[in-house]
Amino acid sequence: MAIGLQRSALFEALGTHAPLSTAIVHHGSDVTYSYGSLLRDVACTKEQLEQVTGRNESTIAGERIAFLVENGYDYVVTLLAVLASNAIALPLAPSFPASEIRHIINDSGAFLLLSSAKYAQQANAVLQDGLEATPLFHHLDDLKQFAVEDQEVNLIGTTATNNGGIMLYTSGTTGRPKGVLLSTNTLAAQAQSLLTAWEYTPEDHLLHVLPLHHIHGIVNAILTPLLAGSSIEFLYPFDAHAVWERLALPFQTTQEIIPGNSGPVPHNERTPISILTAVPTVWARLLQTHSTLEPETLAAAKQSISRKHLRLNISGSAALPKPTLDGWTELSGGNILLERYGMTEVGMALSCGLDDSDRVPGSVGWPLPLVEVRLWEVNVDTGVGSVISLGEEIDSGSGKERHGEIQLRGPTIFREYWRNPAATKKEFTEDGWFRTGDIAVRRTVPGCGAGKSGTWASGAAYFVQGRQSADIIKTGGEKVSALEIERELLSLPQVNECAVVGLPSESWGQKVAAVVLLSDDWRKTEKPWGLADMRRALKEQLVPYKIPQDLEIVPSIKRNAMGKVNKKELVTAVFGDVERIRRRSVHIREERDRLKRS
Ligand code: AMP
C-alpha cells in the first residue's frame, strides 16, 4: 500500500526533484538530507501523526496542528507532514512568552501540540494553565514508536480539495494577535510568484538565517527553494561571524601541496552560498563585522559575496537604509541588495528586479507576478477615495506627488483572519482588495523598469512611505513620511540607528521627533551632538517642516526578531505617555496665549 500525500503544487514539484539531490543541510553538524529522504520522512511522519492522534485522512483534514521545533530538517519535515495531512500548520516561536502561545492555541483551536526535545519543557509550561481546551501533546520522538514500513508515496485528492495551509499570527501591535490563514493554494501561488521573479534553480544554495514563525523565513526561504529543487542550509540563530565564516569557507585556500597540483587548493568542498535573504539589521550587522574577521577569512568572505557567487542578496521586512545598501555594494564589488516588500497576509507583493538596472535605491520595485497592486488616495477634505491611475502620480493642482495606500488582489493574498469575520471585513474593500495600511508613491525612474528583469518589472516603481498608523506624520497640514526622514538621518555620520515618530502637538497636530542611537565612531569622539546640530545637518536635505523638532539620544532601540521597531512602544518608553504629552502641549499653548494677552 502506498502513503498518500494531499496533492498540492509543492508536493507535485517535490516528486519531480532528483531524489539524491540535496534538500537540507545543517550547518553545525554538516549533516545533509536529500529530496528522496525528505519525501519519505514527510510521508512517514504523516502516517505517524494519524496513528498517534487516532485520526484518519478525513478527520485530520483542516485541523490545526501547532508545533515548537527548532530551525532545521525536523522543522521542515513537521511542516510538510501537516500540509501532506491536509491540515493547518501553526509554527510557534520559541521566543514567544507562554501567554502568547496559549492565546494562539486557544484562538486557533489547535487539537495537537508537537514539540522537539529541545522545547519540551517550554511546551509543558504552556500546557500548565490558561487553555480553553488542552490539546493533545506529543514530543516528535513519540512519533517514532509507530514503525512505518518503507512504502511508495503518491499524491491523493486534487488541489481543489486542499483544506490545508499555514496559520501565522500577526505581531499584534494594534490589539491581540490575529491568525492569518494562508491556504496551501495561496502559499503555492506566493512561491510560484517568487520563483518566476527571482529564478530559483536546483543549483541554488540558500543560507537560512531567519526565524521560522514568519512569512519571510517560511515562504521565501523554505517553500520557494523547495518548489525549485534548491538546497537550504540552516544556520540559526543568526551570528554575523558564523555567517561570514560559512560564506568564506569555499573560497579559503590552504597551502597544502597536493601531488600533481600546483599552488593553493580549495580548503573545503562546501558549496558557495548563492542566495541570502535577510532583514536590514542583518545586512547592517554583516557590514559592521566584516572588518573584524581574521585576515585569511577577510578576503575569502569578500570574494564569496561577489555577484558571481552570491547571485541573490535580498533585503526586506523593513525599509533598507541607504548606508547599508551602499556599504554592501561597495564591500561586494557591485553586488546590489535587492529590496522587496511584503507582509504576513500577502507574502511578497512588490520587488526590485534581477537586472542591476532594476535595483532602485529606496524603492521596492514593481508588483510581483500574480500580484495586482493599486494605490488608493483619500482626499483629505472630502474623505472620498479614488485609485491613482498610472501616469497620474502628480497632483495637477499642487504639483505634489500623490500618496496612496497599497491595496492588493490576486491568488497570493490570504482569504481571512481565522474566525474573525469583523477584522476580515475591515481589511478588505467591497470590491475585494486587501488594504495593507502601508502608504506609497509611484515614480518613473529613468533607466529602470524597462522590462529587463521580466515584463512584471515595467513602468513606474513603488516607494514605500511607511505605515499609515505609525509612519505617516501629519504636521501643520502636511503629511510627512517617517521613513524618508529616517533615510536622511541615517546618512549622517553621527547616526547609527534611528526611529522617527509623531508626537501630539497642540500647535502642529503632530510634531516630528527623532530617537537616535549615535554611531560608535561619533561616541568615541565624545563630542556633544544635540537637536540644533541635527537640525543644521538636515537643512540641506529636507524641507523645514520635515526636520524633527525633538531629539532623544538613546543607548539602544528595541527591535523584534525581524528588525522592526514598535513605534507605539518606543514613544511611550522614550517620551512617556502620549496623553500626557498631549496635555502638556495644550498647557504650553495656553501659557503662550496667556503671556501674549498679558
Ligand atoms: P509583517 O507582516 O510582520 O511581515 O510586516 C509587514 C510590514 O512590514 C509591511 O506592512 C510594511 O509596513 C513593512 N515592510 C515590509 N517590507 C518593507 C520594505 N521593504 N520597506 C518598508 N517597509 C516594509
Q: What is the per-residue DSSP string for 339-367?
A: EEEEETTTEEEEE--SSGGG--TT--BEE
CATH number at residue 485: 3.30.300.30
Q: Is the pLDDT of residue 267 over 50?
A: no
Asked if residues 126 and 55 have their Cβ atoms less than 8 Å apart, the reply is no
My answer on whether 456 and 482 are in the same domain is no
Pocket mutation for ligand 1, best pick of 438, 463, 471 (most atoms within 8 Å of C-beta): 438
My answer on whether 417 and 487 are in the same domain is no
My answer on whether 339 and 460 are in the same domain is yes
Give the CA count within 13 Å in the CB-facing half-sphere of 362. Answer: 16
Instruction: Choose the final residue of a domain: 413, 440, 469.
Output: 469
Q: Residue 471 CA: which ligand 1 atom is closest?
A: 12
My answer on whether 53 and 156 are in the same domain is yes
- The C-alpha cell 543607548 sits at 555
Count of C-beta atoms within a 10 Å radius of residue 394: 14
Cα 89 to ligand 1 centroid, rounded to whole Å: 23
Give kind and range of the element (H or E) at residue 39.
Answer: helix 35-53
Instruction: Choose the final residue of a domain: 453, 469, 485.
Output: 469
Instruction: Choose the final residue of a domain: 432, 453, 469.
Output: 469
Asked if residues 502 and 511 have their Cβ atoms less than 8 Å apart, the reply is yes
Cα 344 to ligand 1 centroid, rounded to whole Å: 9
Count of C-beta atoms within a 10 Å radius of residue 509: 14
DSSP code at position 17: S
Closest CA to 168 of 114, 211, 139, 115: 211
Q: Can you give the pLDDT at residue 488?
A: 93
CA Rg value for the chain: 26
Residue of minimum CA distance from atom 21 in ligand 1: 319
pLDDT in tens, 396-416: 998 999 999 999 999 999 999
Q: Can you give the pLDDT at residue 538?
A: 96
How far apart CA 216 and CA 339 sit, in angstroms, is 13
pLDDT in tens, 541-562: 999 999 999 999 999 999 988 8
The domain total for the chain is: 3
- CB of 467 sitting under 6 A from ligand 1: yes
Give Cα 343 to chain centroid, integer Å: 7
Q: For residue 70, what are the domain limits?
A: 3-163
Residues of the chain with pLDDT > 90: what percent? 82
My answer on whether 112 and 240 are in the same domain is no
pLDDT in tens, 182-209: 999 999 999 999 999 999 999 999 999 9
Strand segments, DSSP code E, in 255-325 are 265-266, 275-278, 312-315
- CB of 51 sitting under 6 A from ligand 1: no
My answer on whether 150 and 227 are in the same domain is no
Domain-located, residue 196: no
CATH number at residue 48: 3.40.50.12780
Q: Residue 341 CA: which ligand 1 atom is closest?
A: 16
Cα 316 to ligand 1 centroid, rounded to whole Å: 7
- CB of 473 sitting under 6 A from ligand 1: no
Cα–Cα distances (Å) from 344 to 181, 373, 425, in that order, read: 10, 16, 17
My answer on whether 337 and 362 are in the same domain is yes
Closest CA to 562 of 188, 283, 182, 192: 283
Q: Can you give the pLDDT at residue 174?
A: 58
Cα 215 to ligand 1 centroid, rounded to whole Å: 11
Cα 44 to ligand 1 centroid, rounded to whole Å: 37
Cα 512 to ligand 1 centroid, rounded to whole Å: 21
* Residue 520 three-state SS: helix
Q: Can you give the pLDDT at residue 591?
A: 73
Query: Which cell numbers hold the place of 410?
Result: 490576486
Asked if residues 197 and 369 have their Cβ atoms less than 8 Å apart, the reply is yes
Cis amide prior to 211 (ω within 30 degrees): no
Cα 33 to ligand 1 centroid, rounded to whole Å: 33
pLDDT in tens, 474-509: 998 888 999 999 999 999 999 999 999 999 998 889
Give kind and range of the element (H or E) at residue 67.
Answer: strand 64-68
- CB of 464 sitting under 6 A from ligand 1: yes
Helices (H), 310-450: 322-331, 421-427
Q: Is the pLDDT of residue 172 over 90?
A: no
pLDDT in tens, 30-69: 899 999 999 999 999 999 999 999 999 999 999 999 999 9
Cα 564 to ligand 1 centroid, rounded to whole Å: 9
Count of C-beta atoms within a 10 Å radius of residue 241: 15
My answer on whether 399 and 480 are in the same domain is no
Cα 427 to ligand 1 centroid, rounded to whole Å: 16
My answer on whether 268 and 300 are in the same domain is yes
- CB of 344 sitting under 6 A from ligand 1: yes
pLDDT in tens, 226-266: 999 999 999 999 999 999 999 999 999 765 555 555 555 44
How far apart CA 554 and CA 574 sit, in angstroms, is 8
Domain-located, residue 135: yes
My answer on whether 503 and 546 are in the same domain is yes
My answer on whether 353 and 454 are in the same domain is yes
Pocket mutation for ligand 1, best pick of 317, 338, 500 (most atoms within 8 Å of C-beta): 317
- CB of 339 sitting under 6 A from ligand 1: yes
DSSP code at position 261: B
